[in-house]
Structure 1
Amino acid sequence: MPNESEISASEISKWLDSAGHSREWLADQTGTHPGTVAGWLAPGKPRPIPIPTLKLIERLMCDDLLGAPNYSYAEAAVIRRAMVQEGYSSLQDFVRDAVVANAQRIMDAREKIVELSTTSTAAGGFTIMRRGSIAAGGRSSADVEETEIPVSKAYKADHYALRVSGRSMEPTIPDGSTIIVKAFKDQGFPRKGSIVVYNDGLGTTLKMFDYAPAQGDEEHARNGKIPVLRSINPEFPDVEPLEGGRIDAVLVEVV
């Protein structure tokens, strides 16, 4: 729990104003007199708030932010900002996805033996398999022509290279670039803003994964949003809904 100094009188005043609560309401919630609350929130030299009452106020503030008073106010504020940034309105959905992602990160970090997709060369460098090209602006053939290319470091076994053909992801990924991607095997969707290899069964394309407001009762809608694919280059179509395809891989870096 935070100590008395972690929530100031000015923060409490701002919370009351933003939440539409009156000083009389806070007095009722804390079992005190409105004059006492006025003393707590007085500008300049406010009267100290008893620690048990401060903890109660913190819970009320946290409940307004998340709908669940299980965190400190500082923690709740950070969580709420992250939820808004990632397009979540439900704390339960946000916590679920965060727990799964963190569990995967921990397991990856604890791998003692890492199988590499790269091969050492006699000259001391590395090579990785390039699985053909990926379209950036249309669809590339599902057929792949594999060839080894030189890279500057070793990558895990689930990584591979692709050559980018097209300008829809410029300037982030120029036409003709070689990219390293990681096979996407997770259930659900990657992080918002991830660059992904999308496969609709007819071919593959490189897009940015995002969310857009749902229109009516659209399939895959969550928290009023649906997953979509975007182009970075404004000259190309901005949004393509995911319609039965799959995400094959997620961008690691441009080489």
Structure 2
Amino acid sequence: MTSAEDIKAWLKRVGKNREWLAEKTLVSKGTVNGWLSTGKPIPSAKLALIEKLMSGEEEIEFELPPDFEKQLRAMADEMHKNLEDMVSHILQVTARAHQKRKAEAPSQQFTPVEPLPAASFLDQPVPVIGNIAAGALTPGDNIPYQIKTDYQLGKGEYVLQVEGKSMEPVIPDGSLVVMRKHTIPPIPKVGTIVEYNDERGVTLKKLGRKKNPETGKMEYVLHPLNPDFGDIEPMDGGKISAVFVNILTNYEKMTS
């Protein structure tokens, strides 16, 4: 296993400092100092990323919105995770999405990932009941399919497949998300990621509020996490039918 001394020697050899390593691993410089100077254990997801950097493998680059840290903290609260766990979760999901895109490129050679052991899955198949747009409001695709997963659905929960990139990097295109039916109160707290329906279709977005420049009143808006997409506003004439719970990471699609 790579040690702190190995990492320090590598940084010196490649002419990089701890601040650079902190930026690449999405942590503070103080956290890196803790890993390298005080013997604080390096989380497995972060150590795997450091080892990829040390081996010279391609780095994953993505643009972050200006208020990403605020969004990240809100997301961590919503998913009942601490900030470190949330960052590790995003790194793992983003890495999987990155590898999937590389595998789908016709010019790329890749080694297929070994299938997950069937023993890790629950016996009861879980239906993916349709798609949800992560972009503009579009009609949902109601063609279901079955998966095996280790996630036990709770009361009122169901699984949808995300179509679109407006919620990246937190929820990549193609992700399977667990949603929970929502009825009371009619509007969940600001910052919650929601499933919104109106006559135009259905979409997955973060619930926000901002002042209408014409009326001066605060109005609800649907906010993407990807800065390349704009808000959907005003949010009227529809309803919030579910709230985001989690992203499925351990599953296998069942063949008919």
TM-score range, shorter chain: 0.3 to 0.5
Ranked by relative contact order (alpha carbons within 8 Å, sequence separation 6 or more), the top structure is 2
**TM-score, reference length from structure 1:** 0.47
